[in-house]
Structure 1
Amino acid sequence: MIDRIRTRESFERLRREGRRVRVGPIWCTYVHDPSVTTPRVAFAISRAVGNAVVRNRLRRRLRAILADSDVPNGLLLIGVRPPVVELSFDRLRTTLEKLLTQL
């Protein structure tokens, strides 16, 4: 189960305390918080990645991968760079799982 980041305070905390990790075209800012019962995730996907259809498809794929993965408790801001659209679903999964292991 994964929840969404909804508050401004959470985004400010990510900016202040977050640790950034990057694997290929995917990056993540992470704040470990044991008080969070389910991981909270937000996505940063710019228009440079593609039109709304492409961005929404990518967001759905990332959510599906995260739902099946072992995501650590805390706050995560996951972002991508434009080359991510060239990755297949399996390649996207391995890249994101590699990123999660580095957290």
Structure 2
Amino acid sequence: MLPREHRLVAGEDFRKATRQGRRAGTRTLVAHLWVTDGGGSPARVGFVVSKAVGPAVIRNRVKRRLRHLARERLKSLPGSAVLVVRALPSAADASYDDLGRDLDAALERIGR
């Protein structure tokens, strides 16, 4: 589970990250990173897993995996960053390791 201060819950922050942030896509996900001016605030992460990914059981499994992967990578995010991870339908069939590699690749491309 992500600590409370690192959870992204406001819809406006989701919109700003997806519209104003940098984006990188992989086979299983799309990552949007928006670095805000809110100095001192911790990095926050949110997830978008639509019904296109699959039924509720599959969507929840994908969300749990992505949450755990994002928690491991919080320290590598710049302070006051907002990261939105959108799962693609192929995430339903991906293993935990595949999702981790794709998230790392997306974050690396955004960081360039």
Question: Which TM-score band applies after superposition, normalised by the shorter structure?
Answer: 0.7 to 0.9
**CA RMSD of the aligned region, Å?**
1.9
Match of 2:101 in 1: 94
Aligned residues: 103
Q: Give the C-alpha shift of residue 86 in structure 1.
A: 1.6
How far apart, in 2, do the equivalents of 1:41 and 1:59 lie? 12
Q: Give the C-alpha shift of residue 36 in structure 1.
A: 5.1
How far apart, in 1, do the equivalents of 2:107 and 2:29 lie? 11
Match of 1:32 in 2: 35
Runs of 5+ consecutive residues of structure 2 not aligned to the other structure: none
Q: 1:63 aligns with which of 62, 67, 77?
A: 67
* Identity in percent: 30
Q: Is the 8 A contact 2:32 2:85 kept in 1?
A: yes
Deviations 1:3-46 (A, max 9, x none): 11122332332244222211222101110136253211111111
Pairing of 1:65-84 with structure 2 (within 5 A): 65-69=69-73, 70-73=76-79, 74-84=81-91
2:25 aligned counterpart, secondary structure: strand
> Which deviates the most, 90-99 or 33-42?
33-42
- Give, as a single letter, the amino acid of the residue that structure 1 aligns with 2:16: R
**Pair 80,36 (structure 1): closer, same or farther in 2 beyond 3 Å:** farther
